[in-house]
């Protein structure tokens, strides 16, 4: 059942939509659906996960798509900002701290790749 059909404004609608986006049969469709999750529920954990997953997919295709790393950086920066807000609200949340650490590492990697000469990628 689609997220919107289950409970359009329910607490888990963003998570269900995120899971459904991951099931898309092709990468372009998956990226499009992940972007839709992030746009429809911009302050949700589903959106945060969608940004991170989209960034990971874009990093994977960066060898064939010159703009993919910049798009991945944008997604990671959005996730990082969302995590910073969550950390301010609840600084003792270990899940948020661990996820923020993961996003930070992925962001450092992407930024290093963007600075690396083309021949080193």
What's the pTM value of the predicted model, to 2 decimals?
0.86
Q: Report the distance separating Cα 74 and Cα 27, nearest Å.
A: 18
Q: Report the distance separating Cα 80 and Cα 110, nearest Å.
A: 13
Query: Where exactly are the structural domains of the chain?
Result: 3-120
- What is the percentage of the chain residues whose pLDDT exceeds 90? 82
Residue-wise pLDDT tens digits, 34-92: 999 999 999 899 999 999 999 999 999 998 998 999 999 999 999 999 999 999 999 99
Token pair 């919107």 is at which residue? 4
């Amino acid at each position: 059942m689609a997220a919107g059909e289950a409970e359009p404004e329910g607490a888990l609608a963003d998570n269900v939509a995120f899971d459904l986006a991951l099931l898309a049969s092709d990468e372009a469709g998956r990226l499009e659906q992940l972007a839709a999750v992030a746009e429809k529920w911009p302050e949700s954990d589903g959106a945060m996960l969608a940004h991170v997953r989209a960034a990971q997919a874009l990093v994977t295709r960066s060898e064939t798509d010159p703009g993919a790393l910049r798009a991945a950086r944008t997604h990671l920066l959005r996730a990082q900002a969302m995590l910073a807000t969550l950390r301010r609200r609840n600084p003792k949340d270990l899940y948020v701290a661990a996820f923020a650490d993961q996003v930070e590492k992925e962001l450092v990697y992407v930024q290093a790749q963007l600075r690396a000469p083309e021949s080193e990628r």
